[in-house]
Amino acid sequence: MADLKRFLVPWIDQVTPYGTEDILLAWSRPELKRMMVNENPIPPSEKVIRAISEAARMGNRYPDNGPRLRAKIAKLYDLSPDNVYLSHGSSEIIDMVMRLFVTPGDEVLLPNPTFSLYGIRARAVGGKVVAIDMTPDLQYDVPAMLRAVTPRTKVIIVCNPNNPTGDFIPDEDLQRLIDLGIPTLIDEAYLEYHPEHESKAPLIRKYNHVIVAHTFSKAFGMAGIRFGYALADETMIQYFRKMQIPWNTTLLSMAAAEAALEEEEELKKKAAYNNAGVEYVVKELSKISGLKPYYSHGNYVLIDATDAGVTGKEIVDYVFEKAGVILKSFAPLRGRNGFFRISLGTHEENSICVSAIKRFFENRKKEA
């Protein structure tokens, strides 16, 4: 056996892979309710499915880089197709940004909590993650982020709205980060749920260090199909092309995305369905004393149970055991250990989940 350590990149042991245990569990037991990875509970439309099977007929051919689809996406933002890079979900954009800008020992500045993949992909290239705790009311602590900038800061992450806290960064705070001139990834993975909030895409006209990422995994409901895109200045997109793996998006995923873009009403319906679920969960859980749900602009709701005297994990374990619902607990933040997140499911699943949480607290009251 070869001594792999002699050959491996020396920082490999600092990488913990993205945790997919819950997804494995959910696929192996379809009766479980998957409310842990911010999926859309509504399956793709017939039109999208037809587009995929039609594209499959040409499956013996290599895809191009989607000029027609790039033009359609560009039009949504009044940009040029040269400002658009199609990707294998927005995860690829996150990875791309790290590979382009981060060398071993360089720093990636991000808020805490946020989507875990940023840190994972930063570490995969030897980067150091500088995670700045959000304020007690779970807003970006921009003064602390600015103080944390060093000559080695190579990437700044702005998840907007942030996963799992659900809120947007104020424009003036975003501007202060952008004014640093450091490559900044604005991840708008959930923006299609709230189109009344404008994309930050226009910033790319003025700033060649800003990258805006979108995905079809959330409001479009195509997480398993894998499609996303980045918007950036042409020169930035050219660097993406140098670094990219060719044929990163399949004929099937591009056909699915093109079909989905034509179904504006379907997207609106999915967003409205989700947003009604968010309202319901927030309203119902607010009734439980000591439980604080954070209103979210995404397809998830973060809840803090610390003041009720329980940990997030206790609730997540109970709901799994009693109701077959998979949720996600979060690491303590500022000494508070009650955080857990509900990814919205169908209305029925949301109701099952809420009832189970209510039962958890009723039982505690009885025991007390």
User: What residues line the site for ligand PLP (CB under 6 A)?
Assistant: 38, 89-91, 115, 159, 163, 187, 189, 215, 217, 223, 228
Q: How far is the CB of 42 from ligand PLP (least distance, A)?
A: 16
Which residue lies nearer to ligand PLP by CB, 330 or 360?
Answer: 330
Q: Pick from 129, 107, 110: which is nearest to 185 by CA?
A: 110
Beta strands in 224-332 (DSSP E): 228-231, 292-294, 300-304, 325-326, 328-329
Q: Nearest 5°: phi and psi at 15?
A: -95, 125
CB of 118 to ligand PLP, least distance (A): 8
Burial 41-77, CB ≥16 within 10 A → b, else e = beebbeebeebbeebeeeeeeebebbeebbebbbeeb
CB of 38 to ligand PLP, least distance (A): 4
What secondary structure letter does DSSP report for 129? E
Query: Long-range contacts of range 274-280, CB-CB < 8 Å, 24 or more positions apart?
Result: 274/40, 274/193, 274/219, 274/299, 274/344, 275/193, 275/194, 276/347, 277/344, 277/345, 277/347, 277/350, 278/344, 280/347, 280/350, 280/351, 280/354
Nearest distance, CB of residue 37 and ligand PLP, angstroms: 6
Return the number of the residue (83 or 91) whose C-beta is nearest ligand PLP.
91
Q: How far is the CB of 115 from ligand PLP (least distance, A)?
A: 4
Of 89 and 293, which has the nearer Cβ to ligand PLP? 89
Nearer to ligand PLP by Cβ, of 296 and 350: the residue is 296
Cβ atoms < 10 Å from Cβ of 196:
5
Q: Pick between residue 215 and residue 306 the one whose CB is nearest to ligand PLP.
A: 215
Tokens 């997109």 map to which residue? Answer: 237
Q: Decide whether 86 or 356 has the Cβ nearer to ligand PLP.
A: 86
Using alpha carbons only, give the angle 156, 161, 162 rounded to the nearest 5 degrees: 60
What order do you get walking across the sheet with 300-304 strand by strand?
Answer: 292-294, 300-304, 339-343, 328-329
Distance CA 155, CA 213 (A): 14
Asked if 134 contacts 333 with a C-beta cutoff of 8 angstroms, the reply is yes
Nearest approach, Cβ of 159 to ligand PLP (angstroms)?
5
Report in angstroms how near the CB of residue 319 gets to ligand PLP at its nearest.
Answer: 20
Chain residue whose CB lies nearest ligand PLP: 89
Residue nearer to ligand PLP on the CB measure, 38 or 83:
38
At its nearest, how many Å lie between ligand PLP and the CB of residue 185? 10
Closest approach, Cβ 151 to ligand PLP, in A, equals: 28
State which residue, 38 or 329, has the beta carbon closest to ligand PLP.
Answer: 38
* Close Cβ partners of 291 (under 8 Å, ≥ 6 residues apart): 285, 303, 304, 305, 307, 308, 357, 361
Cβ proximity to ligand PLP, 8 vs 24, nearer residue:
24
